[in-house]
Amino acid sequence: MLSSDKRLAALFSIKGKTALITGAGAGIGKSIAITMALAGGARVVINDLPGSKAHRELVEWLVSQGADAIAMDADVSDERQVLDALAKLESDIGTPDILVNNAGITLPNTIDETGFDDWNRVLAVHLGGTFLFSKALLPKMMARKSGSIIQMSSVVGHQGALRGHVAYATAKSGLMGFTKTLARTAGPSGVRVNAIAPGIVDTEMLRATHGPEGIARLTESVPLGAVASPDEIASVALFLASDAARHITGATLDVNGGLLMR
């Protein structure tokens, strides 16, 4: 039983830990980085593509707010880039305590409209990137007997996409199976592996693929009557990374406003 407010606050804190978030220059990943740094007190490593400026600008802003933040350049689907970036990171600051596999792309195409190269590219980012980062860091977390890995899945991983997005929905479903398998492997060492399945989230990706009218139609299907903000997903990621979730592993937490109830 918790005996004080101080102990309760510590339960939800990740102060003193290092969190690596992939694809975190914008959208949900950006909100997770901000939340873990400013609310959780963690050092954050913010990954995005080598040509991106967004993650570097985010690092600069977080540092200006008194947070500890580092930029990491790597295409998550490129094994050499991932391994080189992780080698440098671990040489500089050590193995992260928290890994959030957030990087993702989508194509709004049906199977008839999807070429094999497009299919492979979407899966390479979602599944390939998650595999590469997890494979590199999980053994070190297990040796240390502590750590948390969080995958960013989606409601479409449960129910399939309503229109198109065949590669994206397939990848998000695959992440759930990968999460459960890693959780069974890592559990005896005390390392936890979980996933988050957001519903409709107000991100740049959603606006680009659905537009205002499409988002309005989607919102009508949400019992809570609104799409989620990226911050509402980030708060769940912070929870899963903290000791407050220390008895949760192999789970996929639904954050969808009631869009899917199971």
Residue 7: per-residue pLDDT: 76
Q: Show the DSSP H helices in the chain as ranges.
A: 5-11, 27-34, 54-64, 79-92, 116-123, 129-144, 156-159, 166-186, 204-219, 230-241
Q: What is the pTM of this model?
A: 0.94
pLDDT digits (tens, 9 = 90+) for 171-208: 999 999 999 999 999 999 999 999 999 999 998 877 88
Task: Kindly state the average pLDDT of the residues 107-131.
Answer: 96
The CA distances from residue 234 to 136, 155, 188, 198, 225, in Å, are 24, 16, 27, 10, 20
Pick the CATH number of 5-254 from 3.30.360.10, 2.30.30.110, 3.40.50.1370, 3.40.50.720: 3.40.50.720
User: Of the listed 55, 59, 76, 168, which one is catalytic?
Assistant: 168
The CA distances from residue 198 to 102, 158, 233, 235, in Å, are 12, 11, 7, 12
Confidence of residue 99 (pLDDT cuts 50, 70, 90): very high
Q: Judge whether 143 counts as a catalytic residue.
A: no
Q: Which two tokens stand for residue 156?
A: 């479409």
Task: Assess whether pLDDT exceeds 60 at residue 115.
Answer: yes
Domain ranges of the chain: 5-254
Residue 206: per-residue pLDDT: 79
pLDDT digits (tens, 9 = 90+) for 37-90: 999 999 999 999 999 999 999 999 999 999 999 999 999 999 999 999 999 999
